[in-house]
Amino acid sequence: MTPVGLVHFIVLGSLLFVLGMLCVLTRRNAVSILIGVELILNAAALNFVAFAHFNGRSLDGTMMALFIIVLAAAEAAVALALILSLQRRTRLVDVSKTGSLKG
C-alpha cells in the first residue's frame, strides 16, 4: 500500500474537476449547474491544499483554499438569488429554456 502522495490528490482533483465540468455542461437545471460549479471550485481548492501540503506545508495554498470557500459561499448566494429570480419570472429553472441572453 503506497502512501498517499501528491499524485493522488491531483488525480482526485482532476476527477472532481471533470465531474464538475461534465455536470455544468450537461445538466439543464440551474441548481445542478451550481452544484457542478461547486465541484469545480472544490477541485481547485483541493489542488491548492495538496500543493501547499507537499510544498513545505506553506500557508499560501491553504489561504487560497479558504478564499475559495468564501468565494463559493458568496457565489452560491448570488447564484441562488439569480436562480430564484429566474424561477419567479419564468417558473422554470431550466437554463436551456431561457434565451434572453441570445444575441
Partner 1 sequence: MSTETTIVENFHYLWLIPLFPLLGALLNGLAGRPLHRRFGEKIISAIGVSLPWASFVVAAISFFKLQSLPAGAQLSDHLWTWLSIGQMEVPFALSMDALSAMMALIVTFVGSLIHVYSIGYMHQDAGYSRFFAYLNLFLFAMLVLVLGNNLLLMFVGWEGVGLCSYLLIGFWYEDLNNARAGMKAFVVNRIGDFGFLVGLFVLFWGVGGAWSDAGYSLGASYTLDFEKLRQVVAGTVEKTIWGFPVPAVAAICFFIGATGKSAQIPLYVWLPDAMAGPTPVSALIHAATMVTAGVYMVARLNFLYLLSPTAMTVVALVGAATALFAATIGCFQYDIKKVLAYSTVSQLGYMFIGVGVGAFWAGAYHVLTHAFFKACLFLAAGSVILAMHHQQDMRKMGGLGRVMPITRWTYWISCVAIAGFPIASGFFSKDEILWRAFDADGLLVPGWLIWLLGFTAAGLTAFYMFRSYFLVFTGPTAKLEHGHGDDGHEEHAQHEPEEQRPVITGVLVLLAAGAVILAFVGLPQLWMGVPPALEHFLEPVFSGAENLPRAGHGHGAEWGLMLSSLAIASLGLGMAWWLYRERKNSLPEKLKERFPNIHRVVYNKYYVDEFYQATAVRGFMFLSRACRWLDEHVVDGLVNGAGAITRALAYLDGLIDQYVVDGLVNLIADATRRAGDKLRRIQTGQLPAYLSGLALGGLVLVVLVRIFLNWNE
DSSP letter at 43 equals: H
Q: Is 95 in the site for partner 1 (CB under 8 A)?
A: yes
- 8 versus 28: smaller Cβ distance to partner 1: 28
Residue closer to partner 1 (CB basis): 63 or 90? 90
Site track 48-87 with partner 1 (rule: CB under 8 A), x = hit: ----------------------------------------
> Is 100 near partner 1 (CB under 8 A)?
yes
The 14-43 site mask, x for binding partner 1 (CB under 8 A), equals: -------x--xxx-x-x--x----------
**How far is residue 4's CA from residue 8's CA, in Å, rounded to a whole number?**
6
Q: Is 57 left (phi over 0), alpha (psi -120 to 50) or beta?
A: left
Burial environment of residue 100 by CB neighbours within 10 A (0 to 12, 13 to 18, 19 or more):
exposed
CB of 8 to partner 1, least distance (A): 21
The C-alpha atoms of residue 70 and residue 59 are separated, in whole angstroms, by 17
How far is the first Cα of the chain from the last one, in angstroms, to the nearest whole number?
A: 55
Interface residue list for partner 1 (CB under 8 A): 21, 24-26, 28, 30, 33, 95-96, 98-103
